[in-house]
Amino acid sequence: MDINSLGSNTYVESPSTSKLNNTLIKDTAKLEDKELMDACREFEAYFIKQMYSAMKSTIDEAEEDSLFGKSNGQKIYEDMLDDEYTTNASKGQGIGIAKMLYQQMSRNQNIKNI
């Protein structure tokens, strides 16, 4: 009996364990890809919101319709409505920023994993 073999734990990977491990790696990669794409879409929505807000600020809104102007509730409602518009604009094809970000970031991710 070799003294060096007394404390060693030998792990032999069976074919079924190897298959399970490969499946888990692929599932994790798919989940990471989905999370990355979701983050890219959120960034695109934020970008569109900033663009929309900048464009909206150039419009002269006549607040002569009411005596006191817009209430806080109306401002909050309009802001929430703008959020929905921009979130929906980034869904589907969007304006392409999310797709470009995703491609670039996933390429960089693959480089780091090598």
**Domain assignment of residue 86, given as a range:** 37-114
How confident is the prediction along the chain (114 residues), in pLDDT tens digits per residue?
A: 444 455 555 555 566 667 766 665 665 666 678 888 888 888 998 898 899 889 888 886 665 556 677 788 888 998 899 889 888 888 878 888 888 988 888 887 765 544
What pLDDT is recorded for position 88?
86
Q: In this structure, is residue 99 part of a structural domain? A: yes
Q: What single letter denotes the amino acid at residue 4?
A: N
- Domain presence at residue 32: no
Chain centroid to Cα 32, Å, comes to 10
The first and second tokens of residue 62, run together, are 């006549």
Is residue 53 one of the residues assigned to a domain?
yes
For the purposes of burial, counting CB atoms within 10 Å of the CB of 40, is it exposed (0-12), middle (13-18) or buried (19 or more)? buried
Is residue 26 assigned to a domain?
Answer: no
Q: pTM higher than 0.95, yes or no?
A: no
- In a domain? residue 3: no
Report the domain count for the chain.
1
Question: Has residue 77 been placed in a domain?
Answer: yes
The pLDDT assigned to 93 comes to 80
pLDDT score recorded for residue 105: 86
* Residue 20 belongs to some domain of the structure: no
